[in-house]
Structure 1
């Protein structure tokens, strides 16, 4: 009888240990940092497909979006932050211990409609006027400073778990060939300087004026011609203006990076990107 008691007691202790570990991990992810894999090329070459980073949730305070999401498509599991913490959504104007992101910050936020996590660069704050003219970003009617930086060259090949193919300024190239984009540096009004990529003339190079509403923000990808962002309205399956409440946190540093379809493929690891600061 003592042996049975000892066996069941051991099982119970193991279960309790696992539950406590999961609770601690969930609390850590909710309050401090959230892991994030880069799934698309919309932020090249600041962020590459396969970069892994931790999102700093303390940077801008907390809202319902700070709660974790659990999505496992193979098992049909799709639990969003609003399922966990929707009761705290409110009107979105206030955040606990909150502060607004700065123009130029690389930010993770929840898509206002589908709830998926997106990562983009903050371009406009409430009241700002944003416009693209001939491929040049204008903020409050003033063009940002542009410096040519040559070309960004990558191999035309399937990238990441989604097997995405890059788009190129040198046309349709074959597998294994060089895929080229124009690379330049933008300097935003507050002095933040960062790289952007362009393929060539696009419809999104000339837009109307976007006036950012109160309690909302305007985001764009650094890979300007390959980014679904605030330039496209939510009604057109874009991002549109992002409410303050949907901000998750700031991306500061790439911790790990793999060019392969699996992080276990060590021969595809990008050692030069480990612990790389995000600019």
Structure 2
């Protein structure tokens, strides 16, 4: 039975990934910062900056999926934990594919569809750290026993719970709907066209597991779909029994509690990865919104 070393197993994405790996018949050794109960997997409690506690387990694995991230924008934390920690993990990698979870945020403010050739424009140390970790994979020496080094740039994670900005997106929108806040857009064009690509928990877990079989090293965009902000608000309103309040900022009445919505259209082109892996998203926006509300009930 192939063994996978999984970091970030206690996080929101990690839990879904662990479940998918077990479903596919993998044995999983999981790195977790805290004493976490991982059903079906064997946990190693350590941080990435403590390679002495996990290097042997990583070296014995038939592949590595690296999800762990501090999510910090503090320079010292990013350098000591994210960047150096990823380097330690790469030093421990001996065989099979090494999969690293990055983010579309490394592109900065989008200027058209985001392909892998789009210029990078990080806006904080969290994003700088992601780029540094991607580059470590690019420069990693070839393994005698084979294996590809793969970074996956993902859009916001549309799932219940979570602690990252992407995974909290639906939670935040739901809170504003409950409070009957107004969702304000700068222009009519933004109201109709601004939006974001997204991916759901099950699809992301499938992508990560599928990546273990890729033969070519590289950095790839991944996407589960695209929606406008208006479409997302309408779907969450439909499922939750809310009537979203939409307005242009210029038409807001004084004293109105409002949420300024992004004016950009962040479309992540995941066609290269889909062509290489055969990935086809299984969950639609409607599915993900329904899943979100079902998890709350």
TM-score when normalising by structure 2: 0.24
Comparing both structures, which one devotes a greater share of its residues to strand? 1
Structure with the larger RCO, 1 or 2 (CA within 8 Å, 6+ apart): 1
Query: Higher Cα Rg: structure 1 or 2?
Result: 1
Please identify which structure carries the higher helix content.
2
